[in-house]
Amino acid sequence: MQLKDRVAIVTGAGQGIGASVAQAYAREGAKVAVIDMNGEAAEKVAAAIVGAGGTAIGIACDVADRAQVEAAAAKVNAAWGRIDILVNNAGITRTAMLNKMSIEQWNQVIGVHLTGAFNCLQAVVGGMIERQYGRIIYVTSAAGVLGTIGQINYSAAKAGILGMTKSTAKELARYNITANAIAPGAATPMTEVIRTDDRFKEKYLDRIPLGRWAEPEEIAPVFIFFASDASAYVTGQILAADGGMTIH
């Protein structure tokens, strides 16, 4: 087991890629805190992990709310004594063309993706520094690299994650803490419209050299790599698990 006895927090883990990552970590021996704004969904994923013989707890948490994040981290520390791995996966979309986007739509997306990631980072990093060990994994997107239409808030947030990843890696390397980011292909409920709407799906599929959509289960192994000792000498990197869509 690559993550035996490690303690992991996975945000946005009530569904999609986050749920698959949480389950994959548990299969690799980690104790997993399944965190999601939807507490019922988080508890359902945690129950499935426990039912399969793993160790997990579900926690309702809005990562954009600093107090909720600190309370969630305290629960994990109380349960298992430490936090070794943080996966900043929580995300939302609020779609609108830029000239029609409200400031509320802008702030909501930036709040979850960027401020939320920062809240979680600060909630766990003190203990990681003290123990001289940690794995920070951010989730970005092709939208943050290539831009997109109708989601300037989402693209800006995901581009910001790239800078956060590199800054986190540079600041924390001295403490044996790595930070990397994954840009997964369209495998989440947030991308359902792109994958199913006839107006979009063929156009987007044409941009993917592998010619098919990703499944959450085939993205999860990349998260295992960045959480495990196999990536001990890898930090500050962005890995696109996107079927080749962002080939430069």
What residues act catalytically? 154
CA dist 131 and 1 (Å) reads 22
CA dist 71 and 190 (Å) reads 27
CA dist 221 and 227 (Å) reads 10
120-158: burial string, b at 16+ Cβ within 10 Å, e else: bbebbbebbeeeebbbbbbbbbbbbbeeeeebbbbbbbb
CA distances to 3, 56, 200 from 207, rounded to whole Å, are: 35, 38, 11
